[in-house]
Structure 1
Amino acid sequence: MTSPIPTVTVAGNKVGRVGYGLMQLTWNPKAPSEEISFAAIKAAADAGSTIWSSAAFYGNPGDNFANLRLIKNFFAKYPEYKDKITLVIKGGGDYKTLQPRGDDIEFLRTEIKAIKEYLGDKEIDVYNLARLPHAPVEDVFKNLVTLQKEGLFREIGASEMGVESLKKALKVTPIAINEIEVSLFSISDPSIKAAVDFSAEVGLPTFAYSPLGRGFLTRSFKSPDDLPAGDFRKMVPRFQGEAFYENLKLVDKLDEIAKNKGVQTSQLALAWVLQLSPYMIPIPGSSNPERVRENIASANITLTPEELKTINDILAKFEPKGARYPEFAMPHLVSTARRIGRTIFRHNTD
C-alpha cells in the first residue's frame, strides 16, 4: 500500500513523515471519550500517520497506563490496523517520586512487562526512556540492550538527549529515534538545533514533540487566563503574563505567510519543521479528526526557498520570551548532558 505522505524508515518500517502523539487523549483533565479518540486515531492512520507516540505515564493521576489501554482497545476494535502501526513507548520513571529509574534494570524489566500486558499482542516497536537517570549514559543503554535481547521490545530509542549523550549511546547500540522538542519556538535553543543537525548527519530520525508550540501556533488561547485549571502550561513561563503576548507576535507574522500561501499557520509550522531534516518526524496530537488530517497533510506542503528565507529571517530576529519549561524542570532537558535530582515527565500538547 502506497503512503499518502512521504515516508522514512524507523525500526525497519516505512512510516509517514508526520507521526501521531496520543498523549492528550488520556493525560488531560477533560479527556475525550473513547469513541472520539478512536475517530481521531483512525483518521491519523488513514491519512498516513503510521508511527505513534505513547508512554507508560500518559494518564491522569492514578491511571498512568490509560494511554496503553486505549491503544489496546483500538486494535481490538480495528485489528486490521495493528500491523500497519509502528509504536514508540516511553517509560523508565517512578511516577510517584518523579525519579528517572533507567539505571535500575529490574525496575525497567518490570515496567516493560506491565506495558506489554496492557498492550496485549501489539509489539513495542521502540522503547525509550523519557529522561536519563543520574548514571553513565553507556551503562543505561547497556541495560536497554540487555532487555532488548530478552525480547521485551524491538528497538531502542532515546528522548531529550543532546549530541554528547547521543554519541555515547551510539557507541553502545543503534538508536531508532531521538524524541526532543522541535518547533519554531524551540529551535532557538542551540542544544536542540545541534541535536537536530547531528541526527540529520548520522541518519537518526528525530521525533519532534510539541511541533506547534503547545498550542501557540494554533491560537488555542487568546490570553493566559484561557488555560484551563490543572493545565501544565500554567506553570510554563512562556505562557505567563506579558511573555504570552510577546510570543504571539511570532504567530502574527506566520499567519500572514500562511495566508499568502493558502495554508493553515499550523501546516506552515509543521512544513517548516519537516524541512529541517529528511529524518524529521513531527508528532502533533489532536482529538479532532479534521485537525488530525490537516496536520498530516502538511507533509505534502513544500516551502519555497523564498518562504523559508522569510521565516528564517523572522526567527533570526525573534527570541521567545520565557523558558519552555518551569525552572525546576529545565536541568533535565536536552541541553543538559547529565540529569541530576528530581525530574518531571513532560506534559506536552501540540
Structure 2
Amino acid sequence: MKYRILGNSNEKVSALGLGCMGMSFAYGPFDESENLKTLQRALDLGVNFLDTADMYGNGANEVLLSKILKDNRDKVFLATKFGFRFRNGKVGDSNAVDTYFDGSPEYVKQAVDASLQRLGVDVIDLYYAHRVDPQVPIEETVGAMADLVQAGKVRYLGLSEASPESIRKANAIHPIAALQSEYSLLTRDVEGEILNTVNEFNMALVPYSPLARGLVTNDFNVSALDAGDFRKTLPRYQGENLENNMNLTDAFKAFAIEKGITSAQLALAWVLHQGENIIPIPGTRKITRLEENSKAVDVVLTGEDLRTIDAILAKYPNVGNRYNEGAMKLVNN
C-alpha cells in the first residue's frame, strides 16, 4: 500500500481507504462474518483509513466496525459522519430509509456520543458533517463540531458534499481537514471551483463511490443486483442512461484489458491521478475485490492513457444523475 497525507492534518493514511457502508446498508443482504474477514484483510494489506457513518444500517455499521477496532484501534484512522436521522426504525434496521437531515449544534453533541458508544472508542479521528443543513448556518454546525475537538472526542473535522461557500465559512470557524464528495469517471461535479477551494485550504478530497457504484467494473450486471439494492432506484441504472453506461463500461473494460489490468484498477488509478491530496474510499464486502482494488495504487497512467479515457467518456456522455431529485437537494449546499 502507498500512503498520502490527509490534507492539513499531517496524518498519513492509505492512498485507498475502505468505504464500509455496503457492509450494513443499501446494497442488499450481507454476511457479518464475511464483512469482518474483509475488514481484517484490509488491515493486513495496509489499508488504515476506514469510513463509516451513523446512518449506515441506522448505527449497525458502526457496531460492526467496533468488532474490528477492539483489537486494532492503533492500526486504524477512523472516520464517521453524522446528520442523517431516521424517522422510524431501530439500530440495525437496514430497511429504515425515511430520513431527514439535522445539522443543529444540539444534535452534533448527541450524535457524537452515540457514535463513540457504538464504535467502542474514546475518540474519532475524522468527524464529518454528512451534508450541509440548509436550515442551519454552517458556522453553527462547525462551531459545535469544533467544541468536540476541544473536548477530546474528535481529532479532525470534515464536510461532505459541501459548496465552495460552505467550505470557506467552515474554515473560518475551524480548520477542515477533508471534504468527502462523490467523484469518479462518471461524477465530476467537484472539478473546478470545489476542488480549487479544497486545494486553497490544503484539505484532502475523499471521493466516495470512485467506481461509480460498480458501473465501471469488469462484470457489472444490473439484473443481478439484489432486490434491496438501492442502485435500482437511481437514474443511472434505468432506461437510456443504463444503456449508455453499459456501452461505456464495455469500452472501458476493453481499454483496461489492453493495459493488462481490471476496469476497477483503471478507474481507481484515474481518480488517484487527479491529485496527491485525493484519497478514494472504494467500498466492498469481498476480499477478492478488496485485493483487486488495492493494486490500483501501482497503476501508472500516461498522457495517452488519459486521452483515451477522455475519448471513451466523450463517446458516451448520457450517464444520468447520480441521485434522485430529492437527494440532489442536499448536495453541494
- TM-score with structure 1 length normalisation? 0.86
1:31 and 1:123 mapped to 2: Cα distance? 30
Return the offset for 1:228: 2.3
Which residue number in structure 1 is paired with residue 177 of structure 2?
Answer: 176
Which residue number in structure 2 is paired with residue 196 of structure 1?
Answer: 195
CA contact (8 A) 2:236 2:322 kept: yes
Structure 2 vs 1, CA of residues 201 and 276 (structure 1 numbering), >3 Å: closer, same or farther?
farther
1:284 and 1:142 mapped to 2: Cα distance? 30
2:19 and 2:12 mapped to 1: Cα distance? 18
Which residue number in structure 1 is paired with residue 230 of structure 2?
Answer: 232
Structure 1: stretches of 5+ with no match in the other structure? 338-350
CA contact (8 A) 2:48 2:75 kept: yes
CA contact (8 A) 1:221 1:227 kept: no
- For the pair 1:22 / 2:45, whether they are aligned, the reply is no
User: Paired residues, what number?
Assistant: 321
1:94 and 1:217 mapped to 2: Cα distance? 31
**Bigger mean CA deviation after superposition, 313-322 or 231-240:** 313-322
Within the candidate set 285, 292, 302, 2:300 is matched to 302
Structure 2: stretches of 5+ with no match in the other structure? 88-97
Aligned-partner residue type, residue 184 of structure 2:
S
CA contact (8 A) 2:69 2:76 kept: no
Aligned-partner residue type, residue 147 of structure 2:
T
Within the candidate set 53, 58, 64, 1:70 is matched to 64
In the TM superposition, 1:122-161 aligns within 5 A as 123-133=123-133, 134-161=135-162
1:91 and 1:9 mapped to 2: Cα distance? 20
Instruction: Using the aligned pairs only, state the percent identity.
Output: 34
3-state secondary structure, aligned to 2:52 = strand
In the TM superposition, 1:311-350 aligns within 5 A as 311-334=309-332, 337=333
1:313 and 1:234 mapped to 2: Cα distance? 27
- TM-score with structure 2 length normalisation? 0.90
CA contact (8 A) 1:185 1:320 kept: no
CA contact (8 A) 1:17 1:282 kept: yes
CA contact (8 A) 2:268 2:293 kept: yes
Within the candidate set 69, 73, 83, 2:74 is matched to 83
Aligned-partner residue type, residue 7 of structure 1:
R
3-state secondary structure, aligned to 2:213 = helix
2:145 and 2:31 mapped to 1: Cα distance? 35
Aligned-partner residue type, residue 101 of structure 2:
P
CA contact (8 A) 2:161 2:179 kept: yes
Structure 2 vs 1, CA of residues 113 and 6 (structure 1 numbering), >3 Å: closer, same or farther?
closer
Which residue number in structure 2 is paired with residue 208 of structure 1?
Answer: 207
CA contact (8 A) 2:15 2:279 kept: yes
| Aligned Cα root-mean-square deviation (Å) | 1.9
**Bigger mean CA deviation after superposition, 93-102 or 284-293:** 93-102
Structure 2 vs 1, CA of residues 99 and 196 (structure 1 numbering), >3 Å: closer, same or farther?
same
Aligned-partner residue type, residue 127 of structure 1:
Y
1:40 and 1:123 mapped to 2: Cα distance? 24
